[in-house]
Amino acid sequence: MLSQKEFKEAFVSNLNGTSLGEVALGSFLSPLCLVGRGQFLILYHLGKGVLPLPWIPQLVLDFSTIILPLVLSCTVLSDLLHLVILALAVLAATTLFCICHAKSSTAVVHSKDSVAKRFFQSHVQYNQVPFVTIFRVLVNVKTAISILAVDFSVFPRRYAKTETYGTGVMDFGVGAYVLANALVCPEARRKEVSGSKLSHVVKQLVSVWPLVILGLARLTSVKMSGYHEHVTEYGVHWNFFFTLAIVRVVASVLLVLFPVHKSWLLALLIGGLYQVTLETSGLKHSIIHNHERTGGFLQANREGVSSVVGYVAIYMAGVQIGLYLMRPRTQVKEWIRVIRNLLLGSAVFYAALIVCQAYLEPVSRRMANLPFCLWTIAQSLFFLSCLATADVLHSNAAGNTASYHHD
């Protein structure tokens, strides 16, 4: 007879995840929700002529159109995700028709060529890159929802973290969290290093103290409360806060020693060499098959310590992506080119992932192996492209609505 603690440990153990397709399909949900939210505001503006909404209606709108669909999609509606996305797409198309019909009563009729030309040559004023901010927000929100829901049966087991191999939604969330941090790090934003390189590294070392404190607090609270632990996730003493702290410090050292614009090369070398080490040494066997935890700190936390290497590779790739996305752009056609390149990059990484899974091994969040790195980057690029598309469409539609309304 299992104790309650053993039952809960078994509930989150020995899981195999879901398909790559289902995770990719989920990338359409949030962009469609954002488009729907924007369309509602446009219709409200066309009808009432005033924005923004008072803060309480705005809060209700944001929760209803962004947060609630995310909660429902990974709980009671998880088996109907494709239908939910289809319904949102149909609703968005219908609403777009209503908006265009509302505009036609007051707007000057343009030819199709002039409308297209106006769209591609229109300008957007961004001090930041909104869809990058949205990406980071959604990763945090989805992480919070999943962490709170994973212990309940309403949360699908295929979405939870996998045991050794597999692609769960929470597995992607872990990698995406690291990449999201890298997108907006000082190096990706081209901030100049003040002072000596050594002082910069020391500054970064000191700056991760909140993560270390959080990691220690979680470790202490779990041990003292007797909360169930999935030891094969990171180890006996390790947790993700420690991983984030180490990754940031190691990445800072690497970015001081090597040119920032060569981050992609560092990511490739680190990920590749780590996979070679897994294949040619006893590290993989020790992580997967050795159940002993009594050989010291490294042996007790071998998953957490070794997977740091893979997360560093993901972080370096994120820095390179951030460098590209943070370039100043003003015209819509430039952002459309960005979307195209994000999709092409995603396709290339997915192709590399398929090859790696065929000839090396499947995705493993537990080891943060090369296929896991490739999958995280490929799926992140695809998700970013979906968010960027929604952002460009919404920004241009909002701008045109304002201009038509004033006409």
pLDDT in tens, 355-401: 999 999 999 999 999 999 999 999 999 999 999 999 888 766 555 55
C-alpha to C-alpha distances, 379 to 25, 176, 198, 348, 383, nearest whole angstrom = 10, 9, 35, 11, 6
Domain ranges, residue 233: 113-398
107 pLDDT more than 60: no
- Polymer length of the chain: 407
Q: Are 183 and 325 in contact (CB under 8 A)?
A: yes
Neighbours of 3 (CB within 10 A): 9
| Residue 47 or residue 149, greater confidence | 149
C-alpha to C-alpha distances, 70 to 27, 76, 132, 177, 390, nearest whole angstrom = 11, 11, 18, 17, 17
Cβ contacts of 405 within 8 Å, gap of 6 or more: 45, 46, 49, 106
Q: 172 in a domain, yes or no?
A: yes
Exposure pattern of 93-107 as b/e (b: 16+ CB <10 Å)?
Answer: eebeeebeebbeeee
Q: How confident is the model at residue 403 (pLDDT cuts 50, 70, 90)?
A: very low
Helix (H, G, I), strand (E, B) or coil at 331: strand
C-alpha to C-alpha distances, 361 to 14, 17, 171, 232, 378, nearest whole angstrom = 18, 15, 16, 19, 17
Q: What is the pLDDT of residue 11?
A: 77
pTM: 0.91
Q: 188 in a domain, yes or no?
A: yes
Gap between the Cα atoms of 242 and 238, Å rounded: 7
Q: 336 in a domain, yes or no?
A: yes
Q: What is the pLDDT of residue 290?
A: 82
Q: 58 in a domain, yes or no?
A: no
Q: What is the pLDDT of residue 98?
A: 79
- Rg of the chain on CA atoms, in Å: 23
Gap between the Cα atoms of 333 and 338, Å rounded: 9
Gap between the Cα atoms of 262 and 319, Å rounded: 10
Per-residue pLDDT reduced to its tens digit, 179-189? 999 999 989 98
- Helix axes of 263-280 and 302-325: crossing angle, nearest 10 degrees: 160
Q: 141 in a domain, yes or no?
A: yes
Per-residue pLDDT reduced to its tens digit, 124-166? 555 678 999 999 999 999 999 999 999 898 999 999 999 999 9
6 pLDDT more than 50: yes
Q: 215 in a domain, yes or no?
A: yes
Q: How many domains does the chain have?
A: 1
Q: What is the pLDDT of residue 101?
A: 72
Q: 360 in a domain, yes or no?
A: yes
In 3D space, the residue among 351, 334, 347, 352 whose CA is nearest the CA of residue 388 turns out to be 334
**Average pLDDT for residues 228-237, to the nearest whole number?**
86
Q: How wide is the angle at C-alpha 142 spanned by C-alphas 139 and 147, nearest 5°? A: 120
Q: 125 in a domain, yes or no?
A: yes
**Average pLDDT for residues 320-326, to the nearest whole number?**
95
| Residue 39 or residue 325, greater confidence | 325
Q: How confident is the model at residue 231 (pLDDT cuts 50, 70, 90)?
A: confident
117 pLDDT more than 60: no
